Amino acid sequence: MTHDHTASDLTDRTVLITGATSGIGRATATAVAARGARVVLAVRDTAKGRTVADMLAPASRPHVVRELDLANLASVRRFSAETSEPIDVLVNNAGVSSSTLQHTKDGFELQIGTNHVGHFVLTTLLLPQVTCRVVTLASQAERMSRLDLDDLSWQRRPYDGGRAYADSKLANLLFTLELDRRLRDAASPVRAMAAHPGLVVTAMYDRPAGQKPGLWDRLMPIIGQSPEAGALPVLHAATAELPSGTFTGPRHLFHMRGGAQVINRSARARDLDLAARLWATTEKLVATNRQ
């Protein structure tokens, strides 16, 4: 393809969505299928994936459910090796949040490992098949990041789950920035986009069993929005005529809810040097992990 065919009508387009069984991923899958897209649901639980796929509006070709565990790079590499078809839009949606220090199968801190490293490997391996856009879910939480490229997995610092999540979301924006630069340098028609869904009531914020709910837990259902509303900035990034590198988010309540528009990001999220260094650091960590 020599130009971006993506539009609000997604008939005959293939959209691959990670984490499509619940929350924003499921809402995004529902929305793009309603616009005619064939959806590839890349999910950890294929039984749940099939249930969601059965509920989607039918496409010209059947929707596909495939197993993908972003916290296991062997799974990511296997998934990518088994993908040969063109993908019009890749939506890097899946995400985790954790208040305690946990690790992926490969030893990365769970949030940076899943939200950033897993999607980094998936995207770089699938990029030859992507024809139109890569949309990566980020968050305004990136503004609270203190990203330490020398300690991405919190081996030396006291663990802070909220800060680690913010780090992973800044990493998503820096990844998009560097991917955009590389695509433009290669004169590629593919666009790298980022989307902030706003404050969405999803299972990601559920407390572990036995933990007492706090003020935040009581506020979330009041100020948070539905996954369907959270999917709107993702759809905007995936379908609107916007320049590569754009960051979209909700229109209202400090970009926390309602509608979709282009939004700003922090100075750090626009730092080309930091983006290039994160890319190089991630490549090195992933290569070391394979040995």
At 212 the pLDDT is: 62
- Longest alpha-carbon distance in the chain: 54
Q: Which helix (H) or strand (E) holds 87?
A: strand 87-92
- For the chain, the residue count is 291
At 213 the pLDDT is: 59
**Cα separation, 153 vs 281, whole angstroms:** 12
- Domain of residue 124 covers 14-290
Domain for residue 7, yes or no? no
Tens of pLDDT, residue by residue over 18-50, are: 999 999 999 999 999 999 999 999 999 999 999
Residue ranges of E strands in 19-170: 38-43, 64-67, 87-92, 130-137
Domain for residue 272, yes or no? yes
Q: Which two tokens stand for residue 285?
A: 């960590």
Tens of pLDDT, residue by residue over 140-166, are: 899 999 999 999 999 999 999 999 999
Domain for residue 2, yes or no? no
Domain for residue 169, yes or no? yes
At 226 the pLDDT is: 82
Tell me if 204 sits within 8 A of 96, measured CB to CB: yes
Spans of the chain below 70 pLDDT: 1-7, 200-225, 252-258, 291
Q: What is the pTM of this model?
A: 0.90
Domain for residue 106, yes or no? yes
What CATH number is associated with residue 285? 3.40.50.720
Domain for residue 232, yes or no? yes
Domain for residue 66, yes or no? yes
Q: Compute the half-sphere exposure of residue 109: CA atoms within 13 Å on the CB side of its CA.
A: 30
Domain for residue 139, yes or no? yes
Instruction: List active site positions.
Output: 165
What is the residue-wise DSSP string for 204-216?
A: GGPPPTTPPP-HH
Please state the domain count of the chain.
1
